[in-house]
Structure 1
Amino acid sequence: MKYTCEIVIDKPRDEVIKLFDNPDNMKFWQKGFINFEHVSGEPGKPGAESLIRYKMGKREVEMIETITYRNLPEEFHANYIVKGVTNIQKNYFSEAHGKTKWRSEAEFKFKGFMKIMSFFTGKGPFKKQTMIFMEDFKSFAEGKPQYGN
Protein backbone atom coordinates (compact mmCIF):
# COMPACT_ATOMS: atom_id res chain seq x y z
CA MET A 1 0.00 0.00 0.00
CA LYS A 2 1.38 3.40 -1.00
CA TYR A 3 0.24 6.99 -0.53
CA THR A 4 1.59 10.54 -0.31
CA CYS A 5 0.73 13.34 2.15
CA GLU A 6 1.79 16.98 2.02
CA ILE A 7 1.64 19.94 4.38
CA VAL A 8 2.97 23.50 4.35
CA ILE A 9 4.61 24.79 7.52
CA ASP A 10 4.80 28.53 8.08
CA LYS A 11 8.50 28.47 9.01
CA PRO A 12 11.74 28.46 6.98
CA ARG A 13 13.09 25.02 6.10
CA ASP A 14 16.23 25.33 8.25
CA GLU A 15 14.08 25.95 11.35
CA VAL A 16 11.74 23.08 10.47
CA ILE A 17 14.62 20.64 9.94
CA LYS A 18 16.25 21.64 13.22
CA LEU A 19 13.02 20.65 15.02
CA PHE A 20 12.32 17.55 12.88
CA ASP A 21 15.85 16.18 13.27
CA ASN A 22 15.83 16.22 17.10
CA PRO A 23 14.32 13.07 18.70
CA ASP A 24 13.83 15.02 21.96
CA ASN A 25 11.06 16.92 20.16
CA MET A 26 8.99 13.84 19.29
CA LYS A 27 7.04 14.16 22.55
CA PHE A 28 5.68 17.50 21.33
CA TRP A 29 4.14 16.22 18.11
CA GLN A 30 3.61 12.46 18.34
CA LYS A 31 0.63 11.51 20.46
CA GLY A 32 1.38 8.60 22.77
CA PHE A 33 5.16 8.97 22.40
CA ILE A 34 7.02 7.40 25.36
CA ASN A 35 10.68 7.38 24.38
CA PHE A 36 13.35 7.11 21.70
CA GLU A 37 16.38 4.92 22.36
CA HIS A 38 19.38 4.69 20.03
CA VAL A 39 20.30 1.02 19.48
CA SER A 40 23.11 0.82 16.90
CA GLY A 41 25.06 2.67 14.22
CA GLU A 42 26.05 6.32 14.23
CA PRO A 43 23.07 8.34 15.54
CA GLY A 44 21.19 10.17 12.79
CA LYS A 45 23.16 8.54 9.96
CA PRO A 46 22.08 5.90 7.42
CA GLY A 47 22.11 2.46 9.03
CA ALA A 48 21.42 3.80 12.53
CA GLU A 49 18.73 1.89 14.40
CA SER A 50 16.58 3.18 17.23
CA LEU A 51 13.78 1.77 19.35
CA ILE A 52 10.71 3.99 19.60
CA ARG A 53 7.95 3.33 22.13
CA TYR A 54 4.36 4.58 22.06
CA LYS A 55 1.33 4.20 24.32
CA MET A 56 -1.72 3.41 22.20
CA GLY A 57 -4.79 3.04 24.32
CA LYS A 58 -3.93 0.55 27.06
CA ARG A 59 -1.06 -1.08 25.23
CA GLU A 60 2.53 -0.15 24.54
CA VAL A 61 3.85 -0.47 20.99
CA GLU A 62 7.54 -0.72 20.10
CA MET A 63 9.00 -0.14 16.67
CA ILE A 64 12.48 -0.13 15.20
CA GLU A 65 13.51 2.86 13.10
CA THR A 66 16.30 2.32 10.58
CA ILE A 67 17.56 5.39 8.75
CA THR A 68 17.97 4.50 5.07
CA TYR A 69 18.89 7.86 3.52
CA ARG A 70 19.72 11.27 4.89
CA ASN A 71 20.35 14.37 2.84
CA LEU A 72 18.98 17.11 5.08
CA PRO A 73 17.62 19.65 4.67
CA GLU A 74 16.13 18.13 1.48
CA GLU A 75 15.41 14.47 2.36
CA PHE A 76 15.13 12.00 5.22
CA HIS A 77 14.12 8.37 4.64
CA ALA A 78 13.63 5.63 7.22
CA ASN A 79 11.98 2.27 7.70
CA TYR A 80 9.79 1.60 10.73
CA ILE A 81 9.16 -2.01 11.70
CA VAL A 82 6.53 -3.22 14.14
CA LYS A 83 5.16 -6.75 14.40
CA GLY A 84 3.69 -7.66 11.02
CA VAL A 85 4.21 -4.23 9.44
CA THR A 86 7.05 -2.43 7.68
CA ASN A 87 6.52 1.28 6.98
CA ILE A 88 8.91 2.75 4.42
CA GLN A 89 8.92 6.55 4.82
CA LYS A 90 10.45 9.01 2.37
CA ASN A 91 10.31 12.62 3.54
CA TYR A 92 11.05 15.59 1.27
CA PHE A 93 11.39 19.20 2.40
CA SER A 94 11.37 22.23 0.11
CA GLU A 95 11.23 25.96 0.85
CA ALA A 96 9.38 28.75 -0.90
CA HIS A 97 8.69 32.27 0.37
CA GLY A 98 9.88 31.46 3.92
CA LYS A 99 7.59 28.43 4.24
CA THR A 100 8.40 24.72 4.17
CA LYS A 101 6.57 22.13 2.12
CA TRP A 102 6.86 18.67 3.66
CA ARG A 103 5.95 15.75 1.40
CA SER A 104 5.82 12.29 2.93
CA GLU A 105 5.68 9.19 0.74
CA ALA A 106 4.64 6.10 2.65
CA GLU A 107 4.72 2.47 1.67
CA PHE A 108 3.39 -0.20 4.00
CA LYS A 109 4.20 -3.89 3.70
CA PHE A 110 2.19 -6.34 5.78
CA LYS A 111 2.70 -9.92 6.96
CA GLY A 112 0.39 -12.52 8.48
CA PHE A 113 -2.70 -11.25 10.30
CA MET A 114 -1.83 -7.62 9.53
CA LYS A 115 -2.00 -8.42 5.80
CA ILE A 116 -5.57 -9.60 6.24
CA MET A 117 -6.48 -6.57 8.38
CA SER A 118 -5.01 -4.13 5.84
CA PHE A 119 -7.15 -5.70 3.11
CA PHE A 120 -10.29 -4.80 5.06
CA THR A 121 -9.25 -1.37 6.33
CA GLY A 122 -7.58 -0.06 3.18
CA LYS A 123 -5.17 2.87 3.28
CA GLY A 124 -7.63 5.38 4.77
CA PRO A 125 -6.71 4.92 8.46
CA PHE A 126 -2.97 4.85 7.69
CA LYS A 127 -3.10 8.02 5.60
CA LYS A 128 -5.25 9.71 8.25
CA GLN A 129 -2.69 8.88 10.97
CA THR A 130 0.17 10.20 8.83
CA MET A 131 -1.73 13.47 8.34
CA ILE A 132 -2.38 13.73 12.09
CA PHE A 133 1.38 13.40 12.77
CA MET A 134 2.16 15.97 10.07
CA GLU A 135 -0.47 18.43 11.31
CA ASP A 136 0.75 18.00 14.90
CA PHE A 137 4.33 18.63 13.76
CA LYS A 138 3.19 21.75 11.90
CA SER A 139 1.49 23.02 15.09
CA PHE A 140 4.65 22.31 17.10
CA ALA A 141 6.96 23.95 14.55
CA GLU A 142 4.72 27.01 14.41
CA GLY A 143 4.84 27.34 18.20
CA LYS A 144 1.60 25.56 19.15
CA PRO A 145 2.67 22.12 20.47
CA GLN A 146 -0.12 19.58 21.00
CA TYR A 147 1.58 17.26 23.48
CA GLY A 148 4.38 17.03 26.01
CA ASN A 149 3.90 20.49 27.48
Structure 2
Amino acid sequence: MKYTCEITIDLPRDAFIEKLDNPENMRHWQQGLLGYEHLSDKPGTEGSQMSLRYKMGKREFEMVETILKRKLPDEFHMTYDTKGVHNTQRNYFKDVDGKTLWVSESEFQFSGFGMKLMAFLMPGVFKKQSLKYLEDFKAFAETGKSVLDNG
Protein backbone atom coordinates (compact mmCIF):
# COMPACT_ATOMS: atom_id res chain seq x y z
CA MET A 1 0.00 0.00 0.00
CA LYS A 2 1.38 3.41 -1.03
CA TYR A 3 0.13 6.95 -0.52
CA THR A 4 1.40 10.52 -0.26
CA CYS A 5 0.47 13.26 2.22
CA GLU A 6 1.61 16.86 2.15
CA ILE A 7 1.29 19.92 4.30
CA THR A 8 2.67 23.45 4.30
CA ILE A 9 4.23 24.66 7.55
CA ASP A 10 4.46 28.41 8.11
CA LEU A 11 8.14 28.32 9.06
CA PRO A 12 11.33 28.81 7.07
CA ARG A 13 12.87 25.46 6.17
CA ASP A 14 15.85 25.78 8.54
CA ALA A 15 13.56 26.43 11.55
CA PHE A 16 11.27 23.60 10.38
CA ILE A 17 14.19 21.14 10.17
CA GLU A 18 15.48 22.21 13.59
CA LYS A 19 12.13 21.28 15.20
CA LEU A 20 11.64 18.09 13.15
CA ASP A 21 15.16 16.79 13.68
CA ASN A 22 15.03 16.98 17.50
CA PRO A 23 13.79 13.63 18.90
CA GLU A 24 12.74 15.36 22.14
CA ASN A 25 10.05 17.16 20.12
CA MET A 26 8.41 13.93 18.88
CA ARG A 27 6.31 13.63 22.02
CA HIS A 28 4.69 16.97 21.15
CA TRP A 29 3.40 15.83 17.75
CA GLN A 30 3.26 12.03 17.83
CA GLN A 31 0.17 11.13 19.84
CA GLY A 32 0.69 7.96 21.87
CA LEU A 33 4.51 8.08 21.93
CA LEU A 34 5.64 6.68 25.27
CA GLY A 35 9.36 7.01 24.69
CA TYR A 36 12.34 6.33 22.49
CA GLU A 37 15.81 4.87 22.81
CA HIS A 38 18.77 5.29 20.48
CA LEU A 39 20.14 1.89 19.47
CA SER A 40 23.18 3.22 17.59
CA ASP A 41 26.41 4.96 18.59
CA LYS A 42 25.76 7.87 16.20
CA PRO A 43 22.06 8.78 16.48
CA GLY A 44 20.48 10.57 13.55
CA THR A 45 22.97 9.33 10.96
CA GLU A 46 22.33 7.09 7.96
CA GLY A 47 22.05 3.48 9.14
CA SER A 48 21.35 4.45 12.76
CA GLN A 49 18.42 2.94 14.60
CA MET A 50 16.05 4.07 17.31
CA SER A 51 13.41 2.11 19.21
CA LEU A 52 10.05 3.88 19.60
CA ARG A 53 7.32 2.81 22.05
CA TYR A 54 3.68 3.77 21.46
CA LYS A 55 0.30 3.26 23.04
CA MET A 56 -2.76 3.42 20.81
CA GLY A 57 -5.97 2.70 22.62
CA LYS A 58 -5.19 -0.13 25.02
CA ARG A 59 -2.49 -1.57 22.81
CA GLU A 60 1.21 -0.90 23.38
CA PHE A 61 3.78 -1.69 20.73
CA GLU A 62 7.36 -1.00 19.80
CA MET A 63 8.90 -0.26 16.43
CA VAL A 64 12.42 0.26 15.17
CA GLU A 65 13.27 3.25 13.01
CA THR A 66 16.24 2.92 10.64
CA ILE A 67 17.51 6.01 8.83
CA LEU A 68 18.06 5.23 5.14
CA LYS A 69 18.92 8.64 3.73
CA ARG A 70 19.63 11.93 5.44
CA LYS A 71 20.09 14.82 3.03
CA LEU A 72 18.72 17.66 5.11
CA PRO A 73 17.31 20.16 4.48
CA ASP A 74 15.97 18.50 1.28
CA GLU A 75 15.03 14.94 2.20
CA PHE A 76 14.97 12.41 5.01
CA HIS A 77 14.03 8.74 4.50
CA MET A 78 13.60 5.96 7.01
CA THR A 79 11.96 2.61 7.64
CA TYR A 80 9.80 1.56 10.57
CA ASP A 81 9.48 -2.08 11.52
CA THR A 82 7.11 -3.70 13.99
CA LYS A 83 5.36 -7.05 14.14
CA GLY A 84 3.60 -7.64 10.83
CA VAL A 85 4.43 -4.22 9.34
CA HIS A 86 7.34 -2.74 7.36
CA ASN A 87 6.89 0.96 6.51
CA THR A 88 9.21 2.97 4.27
CA GLN A 89 8.85 6.71 4.78
CA ARG A 90 10.29 9.16 2.23
CA ASN A 91 10.10 12.81 3.29
CA TYR A 92 10.85 15.78 1.06
CA PHE A 93 11.07 19.39 2.21
CA LYS A 94 10.75 22.32 -0.16
CA ASP A 95 11.14 26.02 0.53
CA VAL A 96 8.05 27.84 -0.78
CA ASP A 97 8.08 31.60 -0.20
CA GLY A 98 9.56 31.35 3.30
CA LYS A 99 7.33 28.42 4.26
CA THR A 100 8.11 24.69 4.14
CA LEU A 101 6.21 22.19 2.01
CA TRP A 102 6.52 18.71 3.57
CA VAL A 103 5.75 15.88 1.17
CA SER A 104 5.60 12.50 2.89
CA GLU A 105 5.47 9.29 0.83
CA SER A 106 4.51 6.14 2.74
CA GLU A 107 4.81 2.56 1.57
CA PHE A 108 3.57 -0.26 3.77
CA GLN A 109 4.27 -3.97 3.44
CA PHE A 110 2.35 -6.37 5.64
CA SER A 111 3.04 -9.90 6.81
CA GLY A 112 0.65 -12.08 8.69
CA PHE A 113 -3.02 -12.54 7.91
CA GLY A 114 -4.32 -10.09 10.53
CA MET A 115 -2.30 -7.10 9.31
CA LYS A 116 -2.98 -7.89 5.65
CA LEU A 117 -6.71 -8.10 6.38
CA MET A 118 -6.71 -4.82 8.30
CA ALA A 119 -4.83 -3.07 5.48
CA PHE A 120 -7.31 -4.45 2.94
CA LEU A 121 -10.42 -3.55 4.94
CA MET A 122 -9.28 -0.19 6.34
CA PRO A 123 -6.54 1.33 4.14
CA GLY A 124 -7.73 4.85 5.00
CA VAL A 125 -6.78 4.36 8.66
CA PHE A 126 -3.08 4.42 7.79
CA LYS A 127 -3.27 7.57 5.67
CA LYS A 128 -5.46 9.28 8.27
CA GLN A 129 -2.85 8.55 10.98
CA SER A 130 -0.01 9.84 8.77
CA LEU A 131 -1.92 13.03 8.02
CA LYS A 132 -2.68 13.51 11.72
CA TYR A 133 1.06 13.40 12.51
CA LEU A 134 1.70 16.07 9.86
CA GLU A 135 -1.13 18.26 11.17
CA ASP A 136 0.01 17.82 14.78
CA PHE A 137 3.58 18.72 13.78
CA LYS A 138 2.26 21.84 12.02
CA ALA A 139 0.39 22.91 15.18
CA PHE A 140 3.47 22.29 17.32
CA ALA A 141 5.93 23.97 14.95
CA GLU A 142 3.80 27.05 14.26
CA THR A 143 2.15 27.68 17.63
CA GLY A 144 3.83 25.41 20.19
CA LYS A 145 0.62 23.38 20.66
CA SER A 146 1.51 19.93 21.98
CA VAL A 147 -0.56 16.75 21.76
CA LEU A 148 0.34 16.38 25.45
CA ASP A 149 -1.93 19.37 26.17
CA ASN A 150 -4.99 17.29 25.15
CA GLY A 151 -5.11 15.10 28.17
Determine helix, strand or coil for the equivalent of 1:66: strand
**Aligned-partner residue type, residue 70 of structure 2:** R
Q: Any idea what the Cα deviations from partners look like across 1:80-104, whole Å, max 9, x if unmatched?
A: 0010001100000011111000000
The residue aligned with 1:108 is 108
Q: Any idea what the Cα deviations from partners look like across 1:26-83, whole Å, max 9, x if unmatched?
A: 0110101111100125210111011001111122110000000000011000000010
1:1-149 equivalence runs, <5 A:
1-113=1-113, 114-122=115-123, 124-149=124-149
Root mean square deviation of aligned Cα: 1.1
Identity of aligned residues (%): 55
| Structure 1 unaligned spans of 5+ | none
May I ask how many residue pairs the two structures share in their alignment? 148
Give me the whole-angstrom Cα distance separating, in 1, the residues matched to 2:56 and 2:143: 25
**Aligned-partner residue type, residue 32 of structure 2:** G
Determine helix, strand or coil for the equivalent of 1:40: coil
TM-score between the two structures when normalised by the length of structure 2: 0.94
Give me the whole-angstrom Cα distance separating, in 2, the residues matched to 1:146 and 1:25: 9
| Structure 2 unaligned spans of 5+ | none
